[in-house]
Structure 1
């Protein structure tokens, strides 16, 4: 039998994993600058955590959820997105308590699962980086989250980014718009797709998000949510726009954007990029918004929140398409070459000593000839080789060579074991050490 990975999944091999590590560590550093702390939640949750928060008419719940009954007959689901699990953890662990200064800012990284047709940058198991901030209803926090998303993508060296924003208003605004949308769509009921017919009276905003081309033609003439914002909602959105202008962050208002989940309120946004690697025209690379009311849905107190999610696979496809250069993160400082079987112990001692001092070091484990060992050192881009043969063993010395300059020096093994950093400083200049 030939074993293969499940459809819609990918093996991230070492060379590719280095790039992923760079992206993750860059995100961690940037989130720390914004004072966001990491949170880790289970990969699967009670089914109701997602069905209640995402909406029972959403594609995620009706078509894409990996849900199952466990051996205790509990209805569980692999997480299809990150926000609901973080909110559940926020409520269950009472992070809303007075001992936690607000806003509470967290970020997460990990696998998500949706059963959909695999395509470029979109898999059934995909990886997401996301942030959530709880406890403030101020427009300034909306803008901080959007600015951080733009900042993060800029740190990755991406170009051609476009920030698109909209407002879904508060509950009262949504209720007024909901009725207006039903009134507009009802006369077209027979023309709608089957999915949209089901959604029309349950959640008509879902019809605006339909992928059906005929549905899209129908909703072109639909009323705009921006015309139904009440005074408070309009004031909030106006302040968001004012702050983005003040920070000189360009944006485009898209009144047709609703996002694919039911929990959003007020500000929503998408960061888009024009890249054929992800399809024709602008496609979304990062998206999110405010979700006041979601904490209450999962049993917590009244607590506003906002966040975004970023798909790693789509990001990596985009970075490759834009030819972003990744830094070398696995530099090999020294390769220890042993000539003769009797040098094995000393080379092993040196390698372990260097690693203990914080150097990346390696040696041969295949009993190869010196020429093959030097070839390996060169292939691995080792900065230095440390060579021990019979004569060096008798003299208790080693030959240290800079691979960049070719400079070689003979050094007592004891000095290398005691402090290799001092050896480099004593015998080599900064350019050779770099």
Structure 2
């Protein structure tokens, strides 16, 4: 019997994994610019960690992978990275009152949903958490970091959408007004959706039902309910983003799929993803640390889907670095010297491949073309005599003789 990967998961194969390594390395570089430090949390957590933070949301009520372990404990595969990071922050006392803690993670996330391209049941996220500041500058830093990361990957067509959800008091007034407006339209919706909307009216704005979307076009917007502190915070954020050169659009109906957000919420959209254009989402969650049993501590963060980013890059046809610098073609019987040259190149950081079976030159060049390497380096008796290699540009079909001691620098340019 032959087995297949479970529905909604995928194997990341050679030829694909190099793109993942490249993306993750870019994310680590960007995080280092802002002094974020890596945290790695378990794949599963106590189910209550997620239930208390998102009860009534689709993520918690429909999409979590939850099971009872052999000790009778309810555990869930983590559907996102923020709650586990905050749990670890508290458990290990990574910060305290007045202290700033900056964390980043690269993690799998699990949601039982209908699989589609870039949205799998096992997906992967990068994310950052800025814990300990209620300043709009912290929000601006997280948003700028996010935009910088996508630019680092070579994305061109991204848009940052912003909104403010305010504090709990103004959100409560907005929810009441929204639900009152929506009630006539909810009559024709499924019972489960109506009940969920009663518990959390913000979910109405997340609905993909065309008739409900149409009915809600003139619904109240939360901007009309914001208290002065949230207005000032949002205005300061917008001013800071303008100063930083981060382009944005205000989206007054933007909400997030988990209930712990306060004040700032944002998403980054990519035209390259078509109708399902969301690349990532984040925002401020000033009550989350307290919800997890800690002191009143402000925080802001973002989670970014890796698969979504790779799909966008593929659709944009953005150039991504080759996994190899060169493929070495051996046309000499002095294979010890050939092996030594390759070892020297690797000592200098050159990623080089060759044919261990020393097949014909024609066969080796075919392998070079398939390898994706930008260059082939040819080592023959003539080259060894002259201390040279023939360096062939496989993309431009040009070649030149190069001194062996200069070869590594040229390949790494």
**Contact kept? 1:109, 1:127, Cα under 8 Å:** yes
Larger radius of gyration: 1
Aligned equivalents of 1:8 and 1:429: distance in 2? Answer: 43
Which residue of structure 1 aligns with residue 377 of structure 2? 384
**Which residue matches 1:207?**
204
Q: Output one character per residue of 1:178-225: Cα deviation in whole Å (capped at 9) or x when no partner.
A: 232333344555333323311233212122222223332333332221
Q: Provide the residue aligned with 1:250 in structure 2.
A: 247
**TM-score using structure 2 length:** 0.87
Q: Alpha-carbon deviation of 1:121?
A: 1.6
Q: 1:142 aligns with which of 127, 139, 152?
A: 139
Structure 1 residue 316 corresponds to structure 2 residue 310: yes
Aligned length: 404
How far apart are the structure 1 equivalents of 2:201 and 2:194? 9
Distance 1:332 1:432 in 2: 7
How far the C-alpha of 1:296 sits from its partner, in A, is 0.7
User: Does 1:296 pair with 2:293?
Assistant: no
Deviation at 1:76, TM superposition (A): 1.0
Mapped to 1, the partners of 2:412 and 2:252 lie a distance apart of 56
The residue number in structure 2 matching 1:366 is: 357
1:70/1:399 Cα in 2 relative to 1: closer, same or farther (>3 Å)? farther
* Residues 283 and 300 in structure 2, CA contact (< 8 A), matched pair in contact too: yes
Judging changes above 3 Å, is the alpha-carbon distance between structure 1 residues 377 and 222 closer, same or farther for their aligned structure 2 residues?
closer
| 1:29-428 equivalences in 2 (<5 Å) | 29-53=29-53, 55-97=54-96, 102-186=99-183, 188-275=185-272, 278-280=273-275, 283-332=277-326, 334=328, 339=333, 352=343, 355-356=346-347, 358-366=349-357, 368=359, 372=363, 376=367, 380=371, 381=373, 383-386=376-379, 400-404=388-392, 405=399, 407=401, 423-425=404-406
Distance 2:401 2:34 in 1: 45
Deviation at 1:431, TM superposition (A): 5.0
For normalisation by structure 1, the TM-score amounts to: 0.83
Contact 1:168 1:258 in 2 (8 A): yes
Query: Could you list the runs of 5+ residues in structure 2 that have no partner in the other structure?
Result: 393-398
Instruction: Give the Cα–Cα distance (whole angstroms) in 2 for the partners of residues 429 and 304 of structure 1.
Output: 49
**Structure 1 unmatched ranges of 5 or more:** 410-422
The Cα RMSD (Å) is 2.9
SS in 2 for 1:122: coil
The Cα offsets for residues 387-432 of structure 1, whole Å up to 9 and x where unpaired, read as 589xx9xxxx8975233345387xxxxxxxxxxxxx514xx69657
